Each structure stands twice: as structure tokens, then as C-alpha cells.
Structure 1
Amino acid sequence: MEDSSASSPSSPLPPNPSFRLILQEGEEEEAVLLAARSSRDLWLDRLVRSTSTKDLQRLRSSSPLSDFPTSAAALSPARHSTHASSSSSLYISPPPAGPVSPTAGGSGESDATANGRCVLSVLKKDGQVLSTAISSNLVYSGTESNVIRVWKLPEFTECDQLRTRSRRVVAMAVSGFTDQVCAAYSDGRVRVWRRSWACGSVKHARIATIPSTSSYVMSYLTGKDSMRKHMAPITALIVNTTGDILYSGSLDTTVKVWRLSDFRCIESFQAHPQPVNALASGTDGVLYTASEDATVRVWRAGRLFSSSTTSSSAPGSSFTTAHSLTLTLPAKNSPIKTLSLAAEGEALYGGGTDGCIYFWTRARGSFSACQLQYGGALQGHVHAVLCMASAGRYVVSGSADSTVRVWARNPEGRHECVALLLGHRGPVRCVIAYQDDMMKKEELSEATGCGGCTVCSGGLDGALKIWRVNNNGI
């Protein structure tokens, strides 16, 4: 059968010496073209993925096989996997030994692809998109540069920019109750802005840096670590459901608790024996932490200060262990890179480096997060799952295989991949998902209780994409 995607070469091509087959008359041209594609793909598999679409095209055009004719399908980037090391950088691992055919969890790939479409793609000169956050119809995107861009929903127009001298926004969190935007940078510090609205426009004013400069001075003068700074890069930020506490996780294996009213560190504890990769916070005051040690730990908040302490800001205040470990959830020997808690708190999802999404559900009749039980693993991604988000009964996952998958959970607890979003030319580093009022009214399904959703994804290719996922009777 002839390859319909192959186009005839404009000039004769030298045959590949390693490609020796007994060919029938008229098939030599097609065979040489296939050999060229194979050699080209092998060359590209040894390259680190570029940080932008423009760089990717430049690498392809400069390859020693760039003169070989290829079809549109052949120009699509090869899949790579990334693994996080002791630094925040991502590295390319060798490609799989054999062909991999991802599954859609019970739904055909063609059907899953048809359920989602890209409605907008933005490519700025900021470099890789490393973090995103959403609150009050505003989307925040952080990149390698020193600029955080603010986008207004639903039209997704840029309405503000947050600038600092530091670069690489590795994590973000927003408190909707206090209107504070928190961003962690590669220098190990967190910058905080307060947002306000005037005449229909939003403004952001920077109000704090965590730890503060005064903390550095006090530490130098007293010789004590009063600022409680992370000793390694920050990997995760999250605000609790009441909006008054900020959690930060780091490669130094610790989690620190910051009070947003005065930006003081009120607790610091070692969460895992290995680096902390992700955090999640439940409505019942429970904190979830994920680590390179292939476990998810569940912590319950307690008292923040000992009974002898009368003032939280008093020098030398003694801290107790406010968060106590109540449960450890193993993840099949796969480091967990990201966490997402279902909107109702019924399920906890963890993305692993093996491409699986592990999930735990509350025991039947239980209202406690400390009684989670293993529910299974969602398979579909062929490389590490780097980011996740939840919207209603949808769970969205982004992976190092350059794809975004949308999973739907029915009332019985079964999951199905309902959308496969293709378009990124590099690992997908961050995703957010939401259901607006219009979608809830027009697309709500009485059978499953979940309508369509909108997904925003950011990748190491520098692109920020908006996707609409339709219900289609799911």
C-alpha cells in the first residue's frame, strides 16, 4: 500500500546503505524516502527539544538530513520523556526501545482527539512556560523571563503584567479571599502582589517578598535562621482553602507554612526523605505532599504554637509540629511529580514519572481524607506526567510526551479519556481547567453530571494554548 502522506522528492536521493530490501519495480522511490525519514528521526531523537517553535524549525532546517523531502506528518516532533533531577531543569531521556501505542483508557484515539480543539495559541518571547494559576476570571502565566502575564477570561486578552528583577517563575498560587498573587522564583524567594479593580480594569501592586530583606539582616546580626528560607529551589506553592496560609515545597525535602497576613513563616517541617515535588490542600484542612520517594503523604493541621507562646511574632517563639502525618500512600515505585484534588474532595490524583496517573478515593461512607484507599491507575501517557488540574468531574493531565489528556470520572468512580489534545512541540509543564457558567448551562450532561470544560496549557515550547473540550454525550 502506498504511503499517501509521502510526496515525491524534487531531486534524486542517495539510497541509505543500511536500508537494503528486495523491491518490486516502482517501489524504490518510496523505500528511499522511508529510509530518509527513519534516519532523520534518529538524528532528532538525540537532540534536546528546543524552547520555542521557531528554534525547533531552525534545528530541523539545520539538520544534516534537512534536504530530504518529508510530509506534514513527518515534520511533527518526536516524543521525548523528561525526568527531574536535583535541579529544576528538565532533561531528555533516551527514546523508547520500541514503538509505543498509547491507549485512551477505553476510548479510541480518533474519538478522543475529536472531542477537543485548540481555540487559541499564544507564543511570546518569554521562553518556556513554567507555571500557571487561575482566580476570579484571571489566568496568570509564568515563564523563564521576569514577566508574569495576566489574561482576562473568557476572551483571554492580556490585561496586566507583573515584573521583577528575578527570572524563572517556577510556581504560582492565588488567594481569592485576600486577592494576593504569590509567585516562586528560581532564587528561592516568593513575591506577593495584591490585586484590585478600578473602572473595570485590574491592577496589581507588589506588597511583599518572602523571606523579607529584614529577615536576612536579622539572621546576619543574630546568627539565627529567623527567616526560615528554603535551602534549595522551590518546586510547589499552594494556598489553603481559607486563603490565609501559603504552603511552599522544595527540593530540600521540607514544607514551609507562611501566614499571609504578615508573611511570616509559622512552621517548617520535613515532609519526605527526598525532594518534595507537589502540594495539594483540601477543604478539611488536610495537606497532601508528593515526593521523589514514590509516596504521597497526608498531613492534618493542628495547633501552630505551643501553649507557652503568647505572640506569634515574638522573637524566639517556640514552634510545635502543627502538621502531623496521618497517612502514607505508596505509588508503585514511581516518583510523583504532580497532584490534583477532585473538586468534591472525593479523589486524589498523582502523576508519576512512569506515565501513569494514580488515584485514591475515600472509603465508602467516609468523610475523612485520612481514610483514602487506592483506586487504580489511568494509563495513556507514554512519558512522565508533569502537571494536573481538576474541573468538576474532569481531570486534566499534561505530560513530557507533549500531549494533554482529559479524563472524565462518572458517578460510579470509573474513568475514561475523553479528549486527547495535540499541538505542543515539547513537554507540557502546566495546565489549568475550568467550567464557566455558559458551558454549564449549554453542555451539562444529566447522565454523568459533567459538561464540557476549557483547558489552558503551557509548554516548554513557549506556547500557551487554550482548548475547548466538548461533552459529546460522554
Structure 2
Amino acid sequence: MQLLPRRLCMATGSAAAGEAGDRSSGSKQVAITVSSSSSTVSTSSSAAAAAAVSEASSSTMSLPSLPSLSVAAAGDSCLVSSFAHVNTLLPLSTGTGSAAAVAVADSVHGGLVVARAATVALHDLFTMEATSTSDSADDASAAGSVKCVAHLHGCKTAVTGHQDGRLRLWQVSSRVPGRLRLAAELPTVSDRLRRFPVPSNHVTVRRHHRRLWIEHADAVSGVAASADGRFLFSVSWDKTLKVWALPSLRCLQSLLAHDDAVNAVAVAPDGTVYTGSADRRVRVWEPRPDSDKARRHSRKPAYHLVATLSRHMAAVNAVAVGCGGQVLYSGGNDRCVVVWEREDSASHMVAVGALRGHRKAVLSVACAAGDGGLVVSGSADQTVRAWRRAADGQGYACLAVIDAHGSAVRSVTAALATAQKWHRPGGGDGDEEWRVCSASFDGEVRLWSLRVAAA
């Protein structure tokens, strides 16, 4: 069975198990185009009604005592212009470890990263066609089921986190653009050899078992890169946050970040790092200020804890940063997405409300780049919800509820499809098209086109 985030509540049931075997055509990767009528998609006002029904029928688990930010104004029906299913990538196999993870690689040129245990591939964001694919026969690509994936900004490189505690970097081959090659594994051999002779570099991870502090002792559950491309951050079920330098790939720092497994990490444009854990907390990390100018601009920052955010009633599975770092979204086993807004006078972030509607644990949250205020959440209830932040920041509209997956949704991502405006007949010229991609534990990846009116 593919492992869910640590401390996943029992309400999720067995959504992630036994689903892949129901598809007889899942023995190979296929891209198919189907009409949106083949999936259940609720939009605008109907989505609000679905949210109310699902919330009423949910279990009795306590929810955070926060106001609901989901609004259903009379004009919501004008928000959604079109929502259509574009393409589907079927599971590569029906065995264990087939779960997929997705991330936007390049929203400018239309890139999408899809990672599975056997392959990692770059896809076109508009058609889902693979542009570069790793060698499925490469033993390194199958050394552990993929838990997470991220894109390194400014280059054709992706990084994946695996069940075996390793991170792997993938780059588009300069000689064969259609091939994605394994460029490195973290920690690198040179980094291990350099630190191995020093006894102080070895730490006890459990009784009678020691390893280098630069190594993760459990599955890598989250990975994110800084906007400037200088640092890579990884978190693990071993409770640690590690900071890696780019492009040297050396581990700079390892922090005992939480009291329980760390399930997610996100980085704001200013370099602030957010981690979410099974201990029900979100923690905020920043480089330690230093009066020495040379030290401030060095490539070896000393990250330290600046705030602990505690409003969730159960494990936190996902974090995402939006609005240029001014808003943080965290999803957890309490079935809601808590919305935090930047408030330096209130311990960095303050919880302003929650997005409710999912019937089971929220496993993934993503924000689309730009000022559109689009937030996407995936859940163990097998649905994806698209939310849009009001222009004034007061409330969120649930644009759509996608009930198309046959297993828990473990990864979501979203991006503005083009900078071009789409003209809606009988409407304004300010409508925008977004691409929403979701991946489930049975290995299925679905791509959706969402066209909404500009805020």
C-alpha cells in the first residue's frame, strides 16, 4: 500500500489502497482526451451547495474554531466561465508504489513535472504530452516510491523526494532533449566522503544506529526551492528540515524541526520557509540576522525558528504560499484549509479563517503563481476543490468541486495557462484560463482547464 502522510486520520479509510487494480488498462502509460461530461464537476453556486452537504455529512472530528471564509454570493455563477477535462495519464502499473506527484515546472513556457517511482517526466502544460522522460530502466529512479517533486527555478531541472530518504535531481539532456537524466543523488558521494571521517558528523537516529547528519533517516515527504535558485529545502518523517546549497548540492544545515513527522515544506519569495507536521503545527524559519554584511550575503545561512502556528486540530499534511508570501495555506487531517495572513505584530502570521468542504483529510494544497488568488486543494475524499480569493481579500469562492479520481488525491498544482485573455461570449474580455493538475494514489494524473472571470 502506498503510504499516506504520517498520522493520517482514520476517517480517510482505505482510499489509497486497492484502487489501481480496478483499471484493466492501467498496465501502460496512455494519454487520452475525454469530454468533461465523463467526470462529476460542480461549479460556482452548485459547488457551494456541495460544500454544505459534505460538511454536514462529515465525521464528528473537531474542526478549528475559525470562521469559514467560503462565500456563496449571488453573483458566483458569473465567476466560472468554463471548466473542462483536458487529458488523463493512466497509471503505469497496478502495483504498489504507483502513486504520482505533480508540480508546475515552468508556467511561462507551459511545463509540468510528473513523478512516479519508475519514471520522471516533463509534460506540456496544455496537452499533457511528454517532452522529456527519464529512463524507466534506471535502477536509481525506482529505488523508492516518490513522495514529492519540485522544480528548480530557472533551469530544466526537477528534484524528487523518495521513500528511501534520498533526493534525486533530474536534468534535461543537452544531447538528447527528449531524455531526462539522473544528474545527482543527495547527499552526494563527495559530500558524504568529506564528512565521514569526522566523528561529530555522525548522529544517533535510533538505538545502536548512527548516520551522517546530512542524511535523512526516513522518507523525504516534502521538497521546495528558493525563488532565487540558491537553496533547496527538504523535510522528512525523521522530523528534520535540511538546507542544501545550489548548485554545489552540499547540505548546509539540518534542523530538528518538529516533535513528529514533517509532512510538507513551502518557501516564500523572500526566503521564509514554512513546515507542516503531524504534531499539528506549522513552523516558520528564517535566516538568522547578522550584522556582518559579508555573512548576510554568504551561501551558508543559519536558519532558525521565528514562529510556531498552532490552529489545526490534527496533523498538517500540506502548506502553500500565495499572494507574494503574504498569505499561507495549510491543509490537514481536520478536513479544512487554514488561511494565514502576514502580521508581523502577531508572531509573523495570524489565522484569519478556514476553507471548509472536504469530507476527509486535506492531503495537498497549491497556489497558482500571479495575482489571480487561485488556490487548489486535494483530499482523501477523492475530490479536488478550486478556490478563488476575493479581490479585497474578504472571503473565498469555491469555483469547482472535481469528483473524478478513484483514489485519494495526494498532489495538486495550478498555473496560469497563458497571459492572453479569453473572450467569454456575452461577457467581458478580462477572463483568464488556468491549468489545474491533480494526481492520486492510484497513479492517475488528470489535467483540467479552468476559465474564470478576472477579479
Where on the TM-score scale, by shorter chain, does this alignment land: which range? 0.7 to 0.9
Q: Is the 8 A contact 2:162 2:221 kept in 1?
A: no
Query: Aligned equivalents of 2:417 and 2:322: distance in 1?
Result: 17
2:121 alignment partner in structure 1: 149
Distance 2:328 2:429 in 1: 19
C-alpha distance after superposition, 1:332-378 (max 9, x if no partner): 32221001111422211000101111011124xx7x99632211011
Q: Describe the superposition over 1:60-105 as per-residue Cα deviations: whole angstroms up to 9, x where unpaired.
A: xxxxxxxxxxxxxxxx9xxxxxxxxxxxxxxxxxxx9x9449x994
Give yes or no for contact 2:213–2:254 (8 Å, CA) kept in 1. Answer: no
Is the aligned partner of 1:274 residue 2:260?
yes
For each residue in 1:143-162, what CA deviation from the matched residue of structure 2 results, as whole angstroms up to 9, or x when unmatched?
2x321122123222112222
Correspondent of 2:274 among 274, 288, 296: 288
Q: Which protein shows a greater Rg?
A: 1
Q: How far apart in 2 are the matches of 1:257 and 1:369?
A: 27
1:409 is aligned to 389
Q: Distance in 2 between matches of 1:448 and 1:440?
A: 7
1:1-31 deviation digits (Å, cap 9, x = unpaired): xxxxxxxxxxxxxxxxxxxxxxxxxxxxxxx
**Whose relative contact order is higher, 1 or 2, with alpha carbons under 8 Å and at least 6 apart?**
2
Looking at structure 1, the residues matched to 341 and 193 of structure 2 have their Cα atoms a distance apart, in angstroms, of 47
CA distance in 2, matches of 1:409, 1:307: 39
TM-score (norm 1): 0.70
Distance 1:248 1:448, change over 3 A: farther
| Cα separation, 1, equivalents of 2:420 and 2:398 | 19
Specify the alignment match of 1:86 in structure 2: none
- Which residue of 1 is the match for residue 332 of structure 2? 352
For 1:121 and 1:301, the matched residues in 2 are separated by: 41
2:240 pairs with 1:261:
no
> 1:120 maps to which residue?
87
Q: Distance in 1 between matches of 2:24 and 2:16?
A: 10
For structure 2, the residue ranges without an aligned partner over 5 or more in a row are 1-12, 27-39, 41-53, 60-67, 203-211
Alignment partner of 1:300 is 2:280: no
Deviations 1:435-466 (A, max 9, x none): 122564547xx999873421011001221101
Whether the aligned pair in 1 keeps the contact of 2:170 and 2:183 (CA below 8 Å) is yes
**Structure 1 counterpart of 2:113:** 140
Once residues 133 and 204 of structure 1 are traced to their aligned partners in structure 2, the CA distance between those partners, rounded to angstroms, is 16
Listed one character per residue, the Cα deviations across residues 214-258 of structure 1 (whole Å, up to 9, x for unaligned) are: 444556555443561011111100001111211000111110001
Structure 1: 5+ residue runs without aligned partners?
1-44, 59-75, 77-95, 314-318
Question: 1:181·1:194 contact (CA, 8 Å) conserved in 2?
Answer: yes
CA distance in 1: counterparts of 2:275 and 2:196, whole angstroms: 32
TM-score (norm 2): 0.72
Q: 1:177 to 1:393 in 2, by over 3 A?
A: same
The yes-or-no answer on 1:471 pairing with 2:447 is no
Measured at CA, do residues 240 and 355 of structure 1 come closer, stay the same or move farther in structure 2, by a change above 3 Å?
same
Identify if the C-alpha distance between structure 1 residues 272 and 159 changes in structure 2 by more than 3 Å, giving closer, same or farther: same
Does 2:101 correspond to 1:131? yes
Cα distance 1:377–1:447, how it changes in 2: closer, same or farther (>3 A)? farther
More divergent stretch after superposition (379-388 vs 178-187) = 178-187
Q: Paired residue for 1:425?
A: 406
Aligned length: 378
Aligned partners of 2:165 and 2:219 also within 8 Å? yes
Distance 1:217 1:395 in 2: 43
- What corresponds to 1:182 in structure 2? 159
Paired residue for 1:248? 234
Distance in 2 (alpha carbons) for counterparts of 1:242 and 1:272: 26
SS of the aligned residue for 1:274 comes to: coil
What does 1:165-204 correspond to in 2, within 5 Å?
Answer: 165=139, 166-195=143-172, 201-204=177-180
Amino acid at match of 1:52: A
Match of 1:332, SS?
coil
Task: Say if 1:237 and 1:248, in contact at 8 Å, map to a contact too.
Answer: yes
Contact conserved, 2:422 with 2:430, CA < 8 A, in 1?
no
Preserved contact between residue 410 and residue 448 of structure 1 (Cα < 8 Å): no
CA root-mean-square deviation: 3.9
**Against the structure 1 CA distance between its residues 260 and 51, is the aligned structure 2 distance closer, same or farther, given a 3 Å change threshold?**
farther
The DSSP-based 3-state class of the residue aligned with 1:424 is coil
Greater alpha carbon shift after TM alignment, 155-164 vs 231-240: 155-164
Matches within 5 A, 1:312-461: 322-363=302-343, 371-391=348-368, 392-413=372-393, 414-437=395-418, 440-442=421-423, 451-461=432-442
2:222 aligned with 1:236: yes
Paired residues of 1:350 and 1:358 also in contact (CA < 8 A)? yes
Residue 54, structure 1, aligned to residue 22, structure 2: yes
**Which is worse superposed, 395-404 or 189-198?**
189-198
Residue 129 of structure 1 aligns to a residue whose secondary structure is coil
- Secondary structure of the residue aligned to 1:331 is coil
Equivalent position of 1:159 in the other structure: 131
- Indicate how the Cα distance of structure 1 residues 227 and 327 shifts in structure 2: closer, same or farther if over 3 A, else same: closer
